[in-house]
């Protein structure tokens, strides 16, 4: 497996707090069967700026530390780029990192509860610049979860989508798992990744259970595509492949039943 979304670089965002935690995350990744890992610290999200220079330095230092600890896990440059109007220019001037620093595809993060005005303009600008936006965990955005056609439209333009492994495996609840399965059956999902922040819990080894869920739903070849072949294309700069859509994808629970999941509707 190749993990293309991981907050392993120590001390620069809400992921690994220090070197020891980063090394423990790397050990968890290797034990789970991850062969390569893209370091994707938050970029320009209002809390963490993380321009490319300190990310490069952090990656070199961690790679050396893993080498010293005899852990074989090649690390690659990347970032989780918060969607802001100036993002296309930041990608062009190199301050915002793309996957493996190739300038071909970039991991894009939306806010959890909204889609900002101008989102489509930014996505179109990136596509015009030859940079493929990969939408990070769309299942965790409340607007896309209720209005999935918007995601389908972005994918039809050439955007790609990456699910969080724990959403697929059901660790974030049944509703998100259904959504993941439906979108994978619709052929809208190109990659799954751990989005790990810790050595346990939100850990790199969650990718294994996420992969197993995809294999149950669509078979082993599909799981390989989403956890290995397409992630490898993100590293090499090649085009990603889409899963063929199923004729009858699973349907979601009715919206009124989803309301029961909201905290103010719970009886206890």
- Positions in the binding site for Fe ion (CB under 5 A): 80, 195
Query: Smallest distance from the beta carbon of 80 to Fe ion, in angstroms?
Result: 5
Strands (E), the chain: 2-6, 36-39, 42-43, 75-76, 80-82, 105-109, 132-136, 160-164, 191-193
Q: Which is nearer to Fe ion, 8 or 66 (CB)?
A: 8
Smallest distance from the beta carbon of 188 to Fe ion, in angstroms?
19
Residue nearer to Fe ion on the CB measure, 3 or 80 = 80
Place of tokens 């100036």: 86
Nearer to Fe ion, 181 or 197 (CB): 197
Q: Is 130 exposed, middle or buried (0-12, 13-18, 19+ CB in 10 A)?
A: exposed
Nearer to Fe ion, 134 or 243 (CB): 134
Task: Characterise 95 by phi-psi region: left (phi > 0), alpha (psi -120 to 50), beta (else).
Answer: alpha
CB of 43 to Fe ion, least distance (A): 10
- Nearest-approach distance from CB 142 to Fe ion, in angstroms: 17
Element (H, E) at 152: helix 148-157
Q: Locate tokens 């005899």: which residue? A: 70
Q: In angstroms, give the least distance from the CB of 56 to Fe ion.
A: 19
Q: Which is nearer to Fe ion, 222 or 226 (CB)?
A: 226
CA angle 121, 125, 126 (to 5 degrees): 120
Our measurement of the distance from residue 156's CA atom to the centroid of its chain's CA atoms, rounded to an integer in Å, reads 19
**SS (HEC) of 70-131:** CCCCCEECCCEEECCCCHHHHHHCCCCCCHHHCCCEEEEECCCCCCCCCHHHHHHHHHHCCC
Nearer to Fe ion, 51 or 249 (CB): 51
Minimum distance, C-beta of residue 195 to Fe ion, in the bound complex (Å)? 4
* Residue nearest Fe ion (C-beta atom): 195
């Amino acid at each position: 497996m190749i993990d293309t979304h991981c907050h392993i670089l120590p001390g620069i965002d809400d992921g690994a707090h220090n070197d020891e935690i980063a090394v423990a995350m790397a050990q968890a990744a290797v034990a789970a069967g991850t062969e390569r890992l893209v370091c994707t610290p938050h970029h320009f999200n209002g809390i963490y700026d993380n321009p490319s220079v300190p990310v490069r330095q952090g990656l070199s230092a961690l790679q050396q530390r893993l080498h010293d600890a005899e852990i074989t896990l090649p690390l690659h440059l990347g970032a989780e780029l918060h969607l802001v109007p100036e993002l296309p220019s930041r990608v062009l001037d190199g301050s915002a990192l793309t996957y493996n620093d190739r300038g071909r595809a970039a991991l894009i993060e939306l806010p959890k509860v909204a889609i900002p005005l101008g989102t489509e303009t930014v996505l179109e600008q990136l596509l015009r610049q030859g940079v493929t936006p990969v939408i990070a965990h769309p299942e965790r955005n409340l607007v896309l979860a209720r209005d999935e056609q918007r995601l389908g439209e972005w994918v039809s333009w050439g955007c790609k989508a990456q699910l969080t492994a724990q959403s697929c495996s059901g660790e974030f609840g049944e509703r998100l798992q259904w959504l993941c399965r439906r979108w994978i059956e619709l052929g809208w999902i190109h990659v799954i990744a751990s989005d790990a922040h810790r050595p346990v819990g939100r850990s790199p080894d969650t990718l294994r259970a996420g992969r197993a869920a995809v294999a149950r739903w669509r078979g082993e070849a599909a799981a390989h595509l989403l956890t290995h072949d397409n992630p490898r294309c993100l590293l090499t700069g090649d085009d990603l492949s889409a899963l063929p859509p199923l004729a009858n994808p699973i349907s979601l629970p009715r919206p009124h039943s989803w309301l029961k999941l909201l905290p103010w509707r719970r009886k206890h």
